[in-house]
Structure 1
């Protein structure tokens, strides 16, 4: 019986969300093992190959908790390749300040700092994981992600919805006052459009509401810009596919990231959702 085995290795910084990710993968049907010693990876895969399941999805959390065993990880990856088993590596990371805050909130000790300072342990861990990060197929920064957004990102990276185009797109609204997203492939500035912020009844709302969307979209300049923007994006996306691009981040920004950019991100999502795998995120709408 021919078998199709999918192995996902979840790794990354302590406190970056590996436990949450393994729960997400479990919900997606993966057989999950947390903190498996790397020396057992190939033996575990070999054992699972002899099961009766034709379709096998395995997720293994491998991280610095393995301590002395962690160094054998790369040898085990070579063994998987020799066995003809394909694998993906998901690497989770976050900014140092966010990691420190998470450890303080949970009152857990960093595995490399049972008695010492967390910040120093984080720096040491980054160094130890740098080589593995460079091997990762998927890198997710969880600094500002809510659990729901992390789930969408993991699904977006791993699950193909068999859309017409084999391209995954992240649509991100943001506020320029909070900084531009560094991972944007395409970035559009909508600060020239009429601003709902100056309408008292619309100020507390966001571009996810009909009231704000109706206001933003009613102006002739907005209608003209929307046609031109969507025409450009619909022209570009097939060209990116021809070049072999599998993921694209489209960022749309206004001053505060609450009204105009959110409106256009929502409308762009509606424009593209029938053809592409999409992830929609409003980075600053709640600020």
Structure 2
């Protein structure tokens, strides 16, 4: 799983405290919107699914004020509003304009969450459930997915947080939602440190990506292969690499220098990703090391390992030592 502040120029959010907290939840059909909304409901959010986004302004201005716990718009019940390409009157460009208008409201603090997923995985999910894609008609599912992705692109571009569920189980998504949107989550900038395997695709939502494949690969050590970057024998092997100390010191210094600058720019979410070939050894150790360094500096990063449970094999790592 991955999450981030996406590229592009999203509407400017005020960093001051506001009375009504709103999370807009959208994305590709089949990417996990229903699961996300249920997880948010468990966290105390008031979920509203398939709501016409053009009516959000009316909803916010007619909802009960603070003090009506459990009611939409109440100070103790933040709103989680779900919508997608099937929602009545769906028009992505009109929604972008509506979001820009909401951003100017001093009494509303909102975040746009976009759930994405790879085309092959979405097609597998449709085939598994035998559902028809709403935009496919009599054509193959892949064509409907492609058409939907084009339609949804304006929303993905301005999203505050993008979570790719391609490699996620239902539990993975629920856990990520809890980590990002639990009431106890820090209100300051959220920092996510993640690991991944390049052989299984880049993290599309990362703000900073560090390629750790320059380090000696523990995969080619028989006794280390079944272990992970969380295990001390692997950690010792990586720390023994002459390049590790200097490289990590520079990465650590760069990140510690950039984070305050991101905060000064009003950035709410930063995802720092470490990659290696399979996502099991070098990237995991590097992510764990940076997360530890950030905690020592008083930060509370979310730590995610996308491919830690995917397993590694010679087909993924390559046929020769690298």
TM over 0.5: yes
Is this contact kept in 2: 1:11–1:18, CA < 8 A?
yes
Q: Select which of 280, 283, 287 maps to 2:303.
A: 280
Is this contact kept in 1: 2:197–2:279, CA < 8 A?
yes
Is this contact kept in 1: 2:210–2:275, CA < 8 A?
yes
Q: Select which of 248, 251, 255 maps to 2:273.
A: 251
Show the counterpart of 2:288. 266
Q: Select which of 226, 231, 235 maps to 1:204.
A: 226
Structure 1 stretches of 5 or more lacking a match? Answer: none
Show the counterpart of 1:118. 141
Number of equivalenced pairs: 282
Q: CA RMSD in A?
A: 3.4
- Structure 1 residues 262 and 116: alpha-carbon distance in aligned structure 2, compared to 1, 3 A threshold: same
Is this contact kept in 1: 2:239–2:245, CA < 8 A?
yes
Once residues 218 and 105 of structure 2 are traced to their aligned partners in structure 1, the CA distance between those partners, rounded to angstroms, is: 59
Q: Does 1:128 align with 2:148?
A: no
Higher mean C-alpha displacement, 222-231 vs 95-104:
222-231
Choose between structure 1 and 2 for higher RCO, CA contacts under 8 A separated by at least 6 residues. Answer: 2
Structure 2 stretches of 5 or more lacking a match? Answer: 1-17, 70-74, 312-322
TM-score where L is the length of structure 2: 0.72
Q: CA deviation at 1:204?
A: 1.1
- Structure 1 residues 16 and 245: alpha-carbon distance in aligned structure 2, compared to 1, 3 A threshold: same
Show the counterpart of 2:173. 150
Is this contact kept in 2: 1:161–1:277, CA < 8 A?
no
Is this contact kept in 2: 1:156–1:277, CA < 8 A?
no
In our comparison, the structure showing a higher alpha carbon Rg is 1
Three-state SS of the structure 2 residue aligned to 1:60 is strand
- Structure 1 residues 217 and 105: alpha-carbon distance in aligned structure 2, compared to 1, 3 A threshold: same
- Structure 1 residues 210 and 239: alpha-carbon distance in aligned structure 2, compared to 1, 3 A threshold: same
Three-state SS of the structure 1 residue aligned to 2:226 is coil
Q: Does 1:62 align with 2:83?
A: yes
Once residues 172 and 66 of structure 1 are traced to their aligned partners in structure 2, the CA distance between those partners, rounded to angstroms, is: 33
Three-state SS of the structure 2 residue aligned to 1:258 is coil
Three-state SS of the structure 2 residue aligned to 1:65 is coil
Is this contact kept in 2: 1:172–1:250, CA < 8 A?
yes
- Structure 1 residues 116 and 209: alpha-carbon distance in aligned structure 2, compared to 1, 3 A threshold: same
Once residues 136 and 224 of structure 1 are traced to their aligned partners in structure 2, the CA distance between those partners, rounded to angstroms, is: 35
- Structure 1 residues 85 and 195: alpha-carbon distance in aligned structure 2, compared to 1, 3 A threshold: closer
Q: CA deviation at 1:82?
A: 6.8
Q: Does 1:11 align with 2:37?
A: no
- Structure 1 residues 219 and 8: alpha-carbon distance in aligned structure 2, compared to 1, 3 A threshold: closer
TM-score where L is the length of structure 1: 0.79
Higher relative helix content? 1
